[in-house]
Amino acid sequence: MDLKLCEFYFETISKLIGKENRRENLKQIRLYLNRFPSSPDSSNFSSKTRKGKERRLLRETLCYRIAYIYRNSLCISSAVVHHFENVLNQNANHIRQLWQKNCILRICSLGGGSPSDVVAIVKVLESNLAARVSGDMQVTIVDMNGSWKSTCITVLQSLERFKHSNGMISFIEADISSFGDEVTNAIQNAHIVSMVKFISESQGGTRKKMAEFRKNLFQKVCELVQPGSLFLLLDCPQNGLVDICGGDTGLIPESRTVCNEPEHSHKLDSAALQRHSRLYDKLFRSANYNSSLELFARVWIKTEEPPLTDSVFLKAICGKYEDFKKRLILKKKARSSQLQRSGDSATKNWKQLFATEMKDSGWNRKKIRKAITAVEREVIEKSKK
């Protein structure tokens, strides 16, 4: 698939450069690639510096968007293919039934600029299910930067599926975090919701405020995703995403975790790398691009089953760790009755309770974390049977 993606993006970039003003466009793209030889996030350049101001201005140009696609889209799409294909192989019947039942499979991509995730998802669906399902696909891109609209549409219309289906692609320019009606409807109506490299690119505020913003954003999207729909999240692994997205096991309310790779090192295959060099050598003169990515990857399917409660985990952990059970028994009746009443509260409460008690009894943080992870896995596995 990497080789096909490489060919696809080369053709798409050639289309974006265009025949008119081709020489000038290439000159501007090369200047940008040379001026910014690496591919950092915007946060690496302070907006107050000369280079930061220059980059901010360039971000609104077509040359920047082409350079971004050249540097990032192939590897991002390849990573999405890797994870989404694994999920599809394990849940093919579920996704096929979603498509058949609704006649139109709706895909919603949140943030991230280039629709690299959508390209990958469509390619995987075409390769694995299209022959068995006669339905259409509909794509909605939600992004705060409206300058990406025409570029996104051009990229998606380069896919065979959308060459003659303009009405199946829509672009919503909106602040995703505000969750206006358009954004809310797009998420609620989607059968596949994708959020790739959006959380890591959210800027502003103190570290504490940013962590809270990211947590609220994730939780709101989870709430809006409808039962049966799939939610795919890929991002940089150093953004506290493990804590935000369900801890070590990825357990979130009313959802089944179907992919859990908090640290995944993804690399393009050698054939794609060789082809990439041959295609772009004259075009961009071997400018740097991302051939590997460090990623946090999780995928959930929203279920209609009630979420696992605190009481379920407390029972399991008491059965597994006798010393913890004894400590609870020693608590006063008022305290124990309060714990029982809190059985339907968020799952973090049982973790906090266990961590507090075992820390007091001399356990270190690593041992506590291992115990919690072991019990979570055990309970989740039993609930699936």
Mean pLDDT score, 247-264 = 84
* Domain assignments of the chain as residue spans, ordered by start: 1-302, 310-384
The per-residue pLDDT for range 190-235, each reduced to its tens digit, is 999 999 988 777 665 556 677 788 888 888 999 999 999 999 999 8
DSSP annotation of 162 reads G
Mean pLDDT score, 2-22 = 90
Q: Which fold has domain 1-302?
A: Rossmann fold (3.40.50)
| Whether the Cβ atoms of residue 68 and residue 241 lie closer than 8 Å to each other | no
Residue 286 confidence (pLDDT) above 70: no
Q: How far apart are CA 364 and CA 360, in angstroms?
A: 10
Model pTM score: 0.76
pLDDT of residue 241: 81
Name the pLDDT band for 48 (thresholds 50, 70, 90).
Answer: very low
CA dihedral 22→25→26→32, nearest 10 degrees, is 180
Mean pLDDT score, 8-24 = 88
Q: How far apart are CA 383 and CA 288, in angstroms?
A: 47
| Whether the Cβ atoms of residue 287 and residue 220 lie closer than 8 Å to each other | no
Give the residue among 237, 201, 199, 148 at the shortest CA–CA distance from 41: 201
For residues 183 and 306, the model is more confident at 183
pLDDT of residue 87: 93
Mapped onto helix, strand or coil, the DSSP state of residue 296 is strand
Name the pLDDT band for 363 (thresholds 50, 70, 90).
Answer: confident
